[in-house]
């Protein structure tokens, strides 16, 4: 994975599922960005800087 991937906005429960799945993948991390209904998950390679 070269550039961070931004998912579409999703609910808290959906974001939690994504974060839990990504934890199981070595070398990939996830975090949430945005506020309210625009909050979404971003996944990226562990060695890329997080904003």
Q: Profile the chain (51 residues) by mean pLDDT over runs of 10 residues.
A: 89 97 96 96 83 56
pTM for the full model?
0.84
Location of structure tokens 């906005």: 9
Q: Which residue's entry shows tokens 């991390």?
A: 29
Q: Where are the domains of the chain?
A: 5-45
- On whether the CB atoms of residues 20 and 42 are closer than 8 A, the answer is no
Q: What is the DSSP string of 1-51?
A: --S-EEPPP--HHHHHHHHHHHHTSTTEEEEEESSGGG-EEEEEETTSPP-
* 15-to-3, 11 alpha-carbon distances in Å: 19, 6
């Amino acid at each position: 994975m070269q550039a961070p991937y931004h998912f579409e906005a999703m609910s808290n429960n959906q974001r939690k599922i994504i974060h839990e799945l990504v934890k199981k993948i070595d070398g990939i991390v996830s975090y949430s960005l945005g506020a309210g209904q625009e909050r979404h998950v971003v996944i990226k390679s562990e060695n890329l800087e997080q904003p």
